[in-house]
Structure 1
Amino acid sequence: MSISDLDSDRPPQEPRKGRSGTGRRRRRRAGQVGADGSREMALVDDVQFDSYYGRQVVKAPPWRGPIAVYLFLGGLAGGSSLLSYGAQLTDRPALRRNGRLLALGAVGVGTLALIEDLGRPERFLNMMRTVKISSPMSLGTWILASFGTISGVLGAVEVDRMLGEKVPLGALRPLLKAAEGPAALGQAALGPGLASYTGALLGDTAVPTWSAGRNHMSYLFTSSASLASGGAAMITTPVDQARPARVLAAAGVVGDVLASRAMKESMHPLEAEPLETGRPGQMLEWAERLAIGGGVLAVLGGRSRALSMAGGAALVAASVLTRFGVLEAGLESTKDPRRVIEPQKARLAARRAAGITDDSITTSG
């Protein structure tokens, strides 16, 4: 029936099928079991996943070089604080001084790199408006600010000593000396958090490789911090006072290799792939080689300043490559949608195979 002059130009339409026609959807009897043993049978077969126009499923964070510099320098500062405190307790003045100055320089430059990545300095201050214990970023910001303040006090004490207490500090000098002991203890207490929180920060994201390594990333970054701080102290400190640095570096090598391999083994092959291939894979491979070589020199170079410095340089380079490699591997993992979907499907299948079908993650369909 036409209700408009234009209706006559419309193409003919197929008649609708009634409830009794072939288009009627058949209802399954109550309690009918699907072919896979579940209570509902899948209406379509499993299909090969492909994202919309092949685009990324997860958007990569806008982190580049400055953040990698911050990741490395944060570890260097945190490890150096522990070395300096141990040197203070064991009467190693050169190691104490170098550790404190390294910590101050590293945290200062690292903070500048972080602010550079943020784009505007006020964004760093905005992160300190609240304290959220469950947020690695919020907690890490406060650790960084507190550590930097304490390092400034200890750095001033050491510079004043180096200049023979000729700096016109006046009444401020006794206050600095009185604050040295508590400040050193506070710096050593904050050091491990500064060295490791960035690993928890990366693991708290949706980036496939970082998220998959969240249970091992902090251990890897702590070991990497041991390489950086131990190696830097081996370069700057005479061998007769650098024994704690060599011990810390050797322990860091063992932890670095074990944490790296355990992290890869815990991942789905697609999640671990960026850590083993391409530019990030090459950086991490060389990081392991340099770490092992530097560790050997740290053990054997106890009496040779040249061997100690060479081993220290290798360890510092290994730590740099580890931080840059992990950062680039995570960014690379977001480019292929398979690295997001396929591991999720594998974990879902594993939960179903284990009989976990009654929670909000695994359904019986």
Structure 2
Amino acid sequence: MTRPTSEPTVEVTHGGSPGRERDHRRGKRRGRGGGAEQSMVPDADFTSYYGRPIVKAAPWEHDIAYYLFTGGVAAGSSLLAAGADLTGRPGLRRVARLGSLGGLLASIGFLVHDLGRPSRFLNMLRVAKLTSPMSVGTWILSIHGPFAALASAAELAGMLPSRWQGGPVRLLLAAGRPAGLAGALTAPPVAAYTAVLLADTATPAWHAAHEDLPFVFCGSAAAASGGLGLLGSPLAEAGPARAFAVGGALVELAAERRMERAMGLSAETLHHGVAGRWVRASITLTVAGAVGAVAGRRSRALSAVSGAALMAGSLCTRMGVFEAGIASARDPKYTVVPQRERLERGEPVRHHE
């Protein structure tokens, strides 16, 4: 996965006579008396040399969107599993640990598939570059993975018949709790670093969301992993999963609203086209899942349905953010207009632009 690069900014011009100020966003001119006049010039057409996008779109397929989702499930499930272990909820612990292992394996699979071959993932471990979110994220995932895998292996070993639980199996069982706690400590960076990875690119919608996207992704990860706990754990042990799911959903929804306000013009991409459909589905499923989780405290069926809705909503969130970024890179407007607005306010254009 290479960081998308930007191409030279083009100049967008507007016609009109000298001495008149043109408001390119509202399509009006202001005369000498300050009153609004009907525009005599068409709105600017944001194009670039030979019709090429100003910002090069990320060369990523949907594998990366799935990677964002499964990594979040793996991280959130590790936290939930550690809490279940410490509070004596073996059913919830089992579901969360196995869910963490499944999410981790799936995320690595999606990442390797996008890279093309496994050796490229291993090559990223040859150096540690603190200024590169991809390098830092690779190391975070590599540190978290073994602990989560060991805790999950201990859970599987505990499901063996008692006559087979001697010797090495007993040692593995003893390592389950320490490994699970270590996995929980390294889980939050796993859930958050993917947001930093997207925001560190020149893609307009992703970069404009850099302050709030980590909160959206962490809340989404908690909602999804809590939903998995509701889906698979016994009703009597599902309390922490319910709280995790509802809390994560509330954080995700609140952070999304704040993110949209901070994104400016780029927030349009979250409401139109493919990205808009994913985002609307995400909000609907997340709200329905959170309400169902609260209402289903005494219903195993309603808890399971709510958990599935929360997981689906989390996936839709990642897909919506991914598609919005791709759309913003393809339309020069989302690069040019924010640049011009910053220049009008006397702010410098950032280096990546």
C-alpha separation between the residues in 2 aligned to 1:361 and 1:293? Answer: 40
- CA gap 1:238/1:124 in 2 versus in 1, 3 angstroms: same
1:149 aligns to 2:146 (yes or no): yes
TM-score by length of 2: 0.84
Identity of aligned residues (%): 45
Which secondary structure state, in structure 1, belongs to the residue aligned with residue 236 of structure 2?
A: coil
Determine if contact 2:219/2:252 at 8 Å carries over to the other structure: yes
Determine if contact 1:92/1:241 at 8 Å carries over to the other structure: yes
Q: Report deviation, 1:313.
A: 0.9
1:164 aligns to 2:161 (yes or no): yes
1:198 is matched with 194
Q: Report deviation, 1:103.
A: 0.3
Which secondary structure state, in structure 2, belongs to the residue aligned with residue 124 of structure 1?
A: helix
2:177 is matched with 181
Q: Counterpart of 2:57 in structure 1: which amino acid?
A: A
Q: Which moved more, 1:139-148 or 1:220-229?
A: 139-148
2:291 is matched with 296
Determine if contact 2:343/2:349 at 8 Å carries over to the other structure: no
User: Structure 1: where are the runs of 5+ without partners?
Assistant: 1-35, 37-46
Which secondary structure state, in structure 1, belongs to the residue aligned with residue 127 of structure 2?
A: coil
Which secondary structure state, in structure 1, belongs to the residue aligned with residue 255 of structure 2?
A: helix
Q: Counterpart of 2:259 in structure 1: which amino acid?
A: M
Larger radius of gyration, structure 1 or 2? 1
Q: Which moved more, 1:48-57 or 1:128-137?
A: 48-57
Determine if contact 1:160/1:166 at 8 Å carries over to the other structure: no
- CA gap 1:360/1:62 in 2 versus in 1, 3 angstroms: closer
1:343 is matched with 338
Determine if contact 1:54/1:337 at 8 Å carries over to the other structure: no
Deviations 1:170-209 (A, max 9, x none): 6423432342232111100111111111001000000010
Determine if contact 2:216/2:256 at 8 Å carries over to the other structure: yes
C-alpha separation between the residues in 2 aligned to 1:326 and 1:93? Answer: 35
2:246 is matched with 250
TM-score by length of 1: 0.81
Residue from 123, 126, 138 that aligns with 1:126? 123
C-alpha separation between the residues in 1 aligned to 2:203 and 2:349? Answer: 22
1:307 aligns to 2:334 (yes or no): no
- CA gap 1:107/1:313 in 2 versus in 1, 3 angstroms: same
1:241 is matched with 237
C-alpha separation between the residues in 2 aligned to 1:259 and 1:273? Answer: 17
2:87 is matched with 90
Which secondary structure state, in structure 2, belongs to the residue aligned with residue 60 of structure 1?
A: coil
Q: Counterpart of 1:279 in structure 2: which amino acid?
A: V
2:24 is matched with none
1:108 aligns to 2:105 (yes or no): yes
Q: Counterpart of 1:333 in structure 2: which amino acid?
A: S
1:280 is matched with 275
C-alpha separation between the residues in 1 aligned to 2:46 and 2:231? Answer: 52
Determine if contact 2:158/2:173 at 8 Å carries over to the other structure: no
Q: Counterpart of 2:252 in structure 1: which amino acid?
A: D
Determine if contact 2:289/2:309 at 8 Å carries over to the other structure: yes
C-alpha separation between the residues in 1 aligned to 2:166 and 2:90? Answer: 24
C-alpha separation between the residues in 1 aligned to 2:297 and 2:157? Answer: 31
Root-mean-square deviation (Å): 2.0
Show structure 1 runs of 4+ deviating over 3 A: 47-50, 359-362
Q: Report deviation, 1:133.
A: 2.5
C-alpha separation between the residues in 2 aligned to 1:246 and 1:63? Answer: 34
C-alpha separation between the residues in 2 aligned to 1:310 and 1:150? Answer: 30
- CA gap 1:234/1:117 in 2 versus in 1, 3 angstroms: same
Q: Report deviation, 1:90.
A: 0.6
Paired residue total: 310
